[in-house]
Homo-oligomer: A and B are copies of this chain.
Amino acid sequence: MVKVGIVGGTGYTGVELLRLLAGHPEVDVAVITSRAEAGRPVSDIYPNLRGHFDISFTDPDLKQLKNCDLVFFATPNGTAMRMVPELLEGDCKVIDLAADFRIKDLAVWSQWYGMEHACPEMVAEAVYGLPEVNRSAIKQARLVANPGCYPTAATLGFLPIVEAGSANLKGLIADCKSGVSGAGRGASVGMLMGEVGESFKAYGVPGHRHMPEIKQNLSVAAGQEVDLTFVAHLLPMIRGIHATLYATVAGDVDLQSLYEQRYANEPFVDVLPLGSHPETRSVRGVNHCRIAIHRPQGGDTVVILSVIDNLVKGAAGQAIQNMNIMLGLEESLGLRSVALLP
């Protein structure tokens, strides 16, 4: 059995890690920390965990965490970067579910996250944890930066056509929609059900932190800078991201087979048959990304539809997939359940 720790376990990514790890046959959750809830059983806050975990939240303690084989950070941005250097002194591996190690360009990171980086050298070492791109690097990594939710959906959707050089790299558009759980579990007027229920809006159009992350991913895939417009929207539902992606096709290419081949061996990317429209509920609670490719009226514009569960493939599930890879476990261990539908 592998021993893991979770730092900052009271948010939605924390409880989702617990939900998924409860069914993982090789993992024992040894520590889960929360300053605010120290001493309280996890099942007290999350009754769905009753009967699955006896563990209580504790104050974060580096010594205890170092005894783990792997530590997940499910903390706000800027927390992991202060604890990771010391943690990595031991044998412990780290997966940060926040954004501290996602952006390679430190100036860009500081601009979007509004702080100085506390351990710039680690940013270089960190591996961006998108297994479909970096599987072998993840296998060797001590420190993995788990991708953002929108970046996961958008990158997996654009990846094959961008890697293949079949898209015009100017004018990529990612029109993305997310359920409210993506905003976390902090008290705020803006996320009250009275405010976001039965309504829909865009947000962060002037600039959203996930834009540079998607851009970095696609620029790496293209081997050159891409030009991207990213618009995020808030859906009146809890889980799920739907990315509607637009690009101009460059050259003659069979997109359907391009996508099918690119993802043929990926356990968690499912290219749907021609003409499909993936629903977010088809991935509710599971680690899959389902993708469909359209070329309306046979024109130059390709429309790619990509859905994930923001808390699973967009956060906790992908983190466990990364953990499995890092620890030499079977990649889909603990991630084989079926989406909850209806």
Chain A residues proximal to chain B, CB less than 8 Å? 12, 15, 18-19, 22-23, 46-52, 171, 173, 175, 177, 180-181, 183, 185-189, 191-203, 205-207, 211, 227, 229-231, 233, 235-240, 242, 244, 246, 248, 270, 272, 275, 277-286, 288, 290, 292, 294, 296-297, 299, 301, 303, 305, 307, 311, 336-342
Distance between A332 CB and nearest chain B CB, rounded to angstroms: 10
Q: How many copies of this protein are present in the complex?
A: 4
> What's the minimum C-beta distance from A6 to chain B, rounded to whole angstroms?
15
Partner of A175, one of B175, B292, B307, B339: B175
Contacting pair B301 A201 (CB below 8 A)? no
Closest B-chain residue to A10, C-beta based? Answer: B189
Measured between beta carbons, the chain B residues less than 8 angstroms from A229 are: 246, 296, 299, 301, 303
Question: Closest CB-CB distance, A65 to chain B, in whole Å?
Answer: 24
A242 CB contact (under 8 Å) in B181, B186, B201:
B201
Knowing A22-B338, A173-B246, say if A296 contacts B198 (CB, 8 Å).
no
> In the bound complex, how far is the Cα of B202 from the Cα of A272, in angstroms?
14
Residues in B whose Cβ lies below 8 Å from that of A342:
12, 15, 181, 185, 194-195, 197, 238-239, 311
Q: Which 9 A-B pairs have the closest CB atoms?
A: A48-B339, A199-B281, A193-B193, A47-B282, A201-B279, A175-B175, A48-B341, A205-B294, A19-B338
A185, B177: Cβ atoms closer than 8 Å: no
Find out whether the CB atom of B340 lies under 8 angstroms from the CB atom of A202: no
Most chain B CB atoms below 10 A, which of A46, A188, A279, A284: A279
Contacts A19-B339, A187-B192 given; 20 further ones with Cβ under 8 A?
Answer: A18-B338, A46-B341, A48-B283, A48-B286, A171-B248, A177-B177, A192-B192, A193-B236, A197-B197, A198-B237, A199-B240, A199-B279, A199-B280, A200-B242, A206-B294, A207-B297, A229-B299, A229-B301, A238-B342, A340-B340
